[in-house]
Structure 1
Amino acid sequence: MAKSISLAEYRVKFAGQTLVLTNLSAMYMPDSKSLVLADIHIGKATHFQKHGIAIPNTVLKNDLNKLETLIHYFNPQKIIVVGDMFHAENNLEIQQFKDWKLQFSAIQFILIKGNHDHYYHSIYKDLNVEVIQNELIAEGITFVHNLEDFKGEGFSISGHLHPGVLVKAKARQRIRLPCFAVGNEHLIMPAFSEFTGLNTRLDSNSFRFLAFTESDFFEF
């Protein structure tokens, strides 16, 4: 049975436009009809399984179901992946992604290469994914995988850091939640895949953290 998905929105002003953040770890840019996400890490689960680590086979399926929900909801013209679309060697998950992607042939997929995107050009071409080597400048924003690699001025959107927040609950319990880290000029995307860790050590003086659950947003 497919996992039930509930979509919540949180709108922010950034770089002179309204961005629609979602609790599905992606963001929609209405002005350019672009869906933006980062760190899908396709192939990671299979890579770990090959090394004897028991990772569920449902990871990629859940991630693609989530992405499919976003596509049907926003009807984007293009999908911008801000790095680490893939994870390791060419494995079975790449073919699964290729088969799934066939239903969205009208959508342009753009990848700004991340530190894990090491495939040969022929593989990206076969998947019909446009690859940008370092950064993409569009809509007055620089899209780059790692904020540390952004050497220019102005607005940037990046991934790589997998931002999260640590929330203190009752009885000394602590809950980690993924978040968007939003600053005056820089926005860091949460990791899209469910099979990633969370970095809860980002500078709170530079960013406000828009954390989310399966149904809502919370600002920290």
Structure 2
Amino acid sequence: MTCGVEFFFKNQTLLLLPQKAILWKEQKTLILADVHLGKTAHFRKAGIAIPPQLAAKDLEVLSDLIDEHQPETLIFLGDLFHSDKNSDWHEFALWRKKYAKRSMILIKGNHDIIQEENFLNLDIAVEEEMLIEPFRLVHHPLKSEE
């Protein structure tokens, strides 16, 4: 069982989780930022020794969060993948099929350079930002006038 800190804000219940995730209870939504999948293959391709098991570990953490909290929706607040499509993409596609009944949304971040159609083919919606009252979900900080 994951420990977390329950936080109430604007009549919404948010469970702040140690895996750098937020469970928005009323929306049955798991929110994650800066997951950076594919970083192991990216760094290994550049000659940096990274154990290949790290990629599987990242997906295992996501699976554990889903299995424990049973969200209907996952929202990735940018940087789902670290760089361009690489060998870790195939593992991610298989993982996505395991959770095909869950809605997934990517709010684009600065590292999200993979063609949008690749995400759409996996039934992952791609947005610049989202407004789900009372929150505005973005990857980058807003300018003061926004």
Which bracket does the TM-score occupy, shorter chain normalised? over 0.9
- 1:112-155 superposed Cα distances (whole Å, 9 cap, x missing partner): 0000001112211222210002x110021000102245742xxx
- Report the equivalent of 1:186: none
Match of 1:70 among 53, 65, 70: 65
Q: TM-score, normalised by structure 1?
A: 0.63
Per the alignment, do residues 112 and 150 of structure 1 end up closer, same or farther by CA in structure 2, a change over 3 Å counting? farther
Q: Which amino acid aligns with 1:97?
A: F
CA distance in 1, matches of 2:13, 2:127: 25
CA distance in 2, matches of 1:151, 1:144: 15
Per the alignment, do residues 49 and 105 of structure 1 end up closer, same or farther by CA in structure 2, a change over 3 Å counting? same
Q: Extract structure 1 runs of 4+ deviating beyond 2 A.
A: 148-152
CA contact (8 A) 1:44 1:88 kept: yes
- 1:17-37 superposed Cα distances (whole Å, 9 cap, x missing partner): 110111122110111100000
- Report the equivalent of 2:108: 113
Aligned residue for 1:72, secondary structure, equals helix
CA distance in 2, matches of 1:116, 1:38: 12
| Aligned-residue RMSD, C-alpha | 1.4
- Report the equivalent of 1:12: 7
- Report the equivalent of 2:21: 26
- Report the equivalent of 1:54: 49
Match of 1:141 among 112, 135, 138: 135
Shift of residue 73 of structure 1? 1.1
1:84 aligns with 2:114: no
Structure having the higher strand fraction is: 1
Q: How does 1:126-205 map to 2 (within 5 A)?
A: 126-133=121-128, 135-148=129-142, 151-152=145-146
Q: Larger Cα Rg: Structure 1 or Structure 2?
A: 1
CA distance in 2, matches of 1:150, 1:85: 26
Per the alignment, do residues 16 and 82 of structure 1 end up closer, same or farther by CA in structure 2, a change over 3 Å counting? same
**Which segments of 5 or more consecutive residues in structure 1 lack a partner in the other structure?**
1-5, 153-220
- Report the equivalent of 2:99: 104
**Which segments of 5 or more consecutive residues in structure 2 lack a partner in the other structure?**
none
Q: TM-score, normalised by structure 2?
A: 0.93
- Length, aligned pairs only: 146
Structure having the higher helix fraction is: 2
CA contact (8 A) 1:15 1:141 kept: no
CA contact (8 A) 1:144 1:150 kept: no
